[in-house]
Structure 1
Amino acid sequence: MTLKTVPALRRFARLPVAARLRAVRSAFVALLALTPLAALGCMPRPSGPSVALYYGEEPSVDLFSGYDIAVLEPDSGFEPREHASARTQWFAYASVGEVTPQRAYYAALPSDWLLGKNKAWASRVVDQAAPGWPAFFVRHVIDPLWARGYRGFFLDTLDSYQLVAKTDAERARQQAGLVRVIHAIKARHRGARLILNRGFELLPEVHDEVYAIAFESLFSGWDQAKARYVEVPQTDRDWLLSQAQIARDRYGLPVISIDYCAPDDDACAQSTAARIAALGIVPYVTDGALRTVRPRAMLQARCGGQ
């Protein structure tokens, strides 16, 4: 220990306990991000089901062998009823906060429910506060998927309202609308399993109706606007980890991180998955278009050959 170290330690000791814990956690995550996979030895077992996401066309069942859950694009041509005996549970992707003109129900949406645009994804932001929206979403989106055999739903774009809601009052109205959508799904289909992509602020109202919570880009992300893979800033990672801790510790929900690496970069995928799993979070690493499914063993290797 050098003389310069002592004042730093004294300053650290004077920090509030919460601030010290945040500093230690940030230092640990930063160190973990620099740790090669070989040094980690093996991955701990995260609490939660293994999950794969695939948004390509006509997915093969064999792609998902070993995964507990597969989240699929419902317009891919896959019919879950034809594969009901598979070990994997089939979840349908369902965008709540945005809609693209390619969706079959787009033309039926009242124009005044479309509040803005997400140019990066060429989609429209839906007004979650519209009185008829929850019933519309269940009738036009969830009911047809349920009839096809889907019993789980990956609810996406739950934070898109932030593109158009600029005041606390507006954000509160949109959040209340999202809560009503989730209530409506469960009222209609009590057995539906729901994975939320983000939606952290909704958990106090809906945690009892949620199967798991997911988020994207803990270590490695995808920038759709610039079409490139990016390293996630430490401040963003700290915020995500704080939300993950609440979801897991307060509400008892499995937490899933979806990260992104180039399709041919298995080393990136494996090391990223190891870093996620080391934090007790279920990892999934795919490409920016969610069309690369790697073997579960690559992303979720177990200690001691488990």
Structure 2
Amino acid sequence: MSRPIAFYYGAGELDRLSRFDLVVLQADFYSRAELDLLRERGVRTLGYLSLTEDVGPAAPWHRPERNPDWGGAFVHVGDPRWVAHVVDQAVRAMDKGFHGLFLDTLNIEYDYPEDLPHLLLLIAAVREEANPGYLLANRGFGLLPELADLVDGVLFESFSARWVDTEHYAPWPDDVLETHAAVAERLLGLGLDLYALDYADDDELADFACRRAREFGMFCFVSDRVLSRI
């Protein structure tokens, strides 16, 4: 029996990935032949796409600030050159054989709220130009309710558990869990596919995350900080 979803940012492992209905992969790590094989096995593949951070070389759309955890440069989302860059990445992923796209780095409502309208337009451009079979948004709660009209599903990353540093994992404190529960209740009313991605290094924490996700209608996948486990 297949499982609903997996996130894997390594390469290969086609047999293990074949156990899932939907898998999120790094677009550059898989060939067309590998994607075709997964499709033949009934697996839908989503290519990773960052919409507000850029890990590439210095570019005119970069802001001076960088993500302190991952090192990518924050961008001016509405810069037409960034829009063209992202749409090109999306089109190339779809041409390569991905079923759809996983839209990451959508949480800019606190740092760059002025870019939220630009981000909605960017998602709409990706939908129109790349024509993905499925769009899965990572969080993006500051874009609701408009986001619900543009995507097919929402992932609640770190819904119940988190990585504290590079080696330690823990459940969220009670007040954060309550806040996340309120957001999850809102998501339930949008008619979208709902998923949770949590981080754990032991069975007890993983079981807690999966049980809690089920309470809110979410399929849960548990991994490590760098998504190297299947």
Separation in 2, partners of 1:266, 1:240: 22
- 1:114 Cα shift? 2.9
Letter in 1 for 2:205: C
- 1:64 Cα shift? 2.5
Partner of 2:99: 151
- 1:257 Cα shift? 1.2
Partner of 1:133: 82
- Offset from partner CA, 1:149-170 (integer Å, 9 cap, x none): 012111111114644x3xxxxx
Separation in 1, partners of 2:18, 2:207: 18
Match of 1:233 among 173, 176, 200: 173
Q: Which has the higher contact order (CA 8 A, sep 6+)?
A: 1
- 1:95 Cα shift? 1.3
- 1:82 Cα shift? 4.1
User: Normalising by the residue count of structure 1, what TM-score does the alignment of the two structures yield?
Assistant: 0.68
How many pairs are equivalent? 226
- 1:228 Cα shift? 2.0
Q: What are the equivalent positions in structure 2 for 1:1-306 lying under 5 Å apart?
A: 50-58=4-12, 60-79=13-32, 80-100=35-55, 106-107=56-57, 110-139=59-88, 141-160=89-108, 162-163=110-111, 165=112, 171=113, 173-224=114-165, 227-249=167-189, 251-262=190-201, 265-293=202-230
Higher helix share: 1
Letter in 2 for 1:258: L
- Offset from partner CA, 1:8-41 (integer Å, 9 cap, x none): xxxxxxxxxxxxxxxxxxxxxxxxxxxxxxxxxx
Letter in 1 for 2:194: V
- 1:191 Cα shift? 4.0
Letter in 1 for 2:186: I
Higher strand share: 2
Give the conservation status (yes or no) of the 8 Å contact 2:46–2:101. yes
Letter in 1 for 2:41: A
Give the conservation status (yes or no) of the 8 Å contact 1:115–1:127. no
- 1:65 Cα shift? 3.4
Any unmatched runs of 5+ in structure 1? 1-48, 101-105, 166-170, 294-306
Letter in 1 for 2:122: V
Letter in 1 for 2:168: R
- Offset from partner CA, 1:270-293 (integer Å, 9 cap, x none): 342123213322111111221111
Separation in 1, partners of 2:129, 2:61: 26
Greater C-alpha radius of gyration: 1
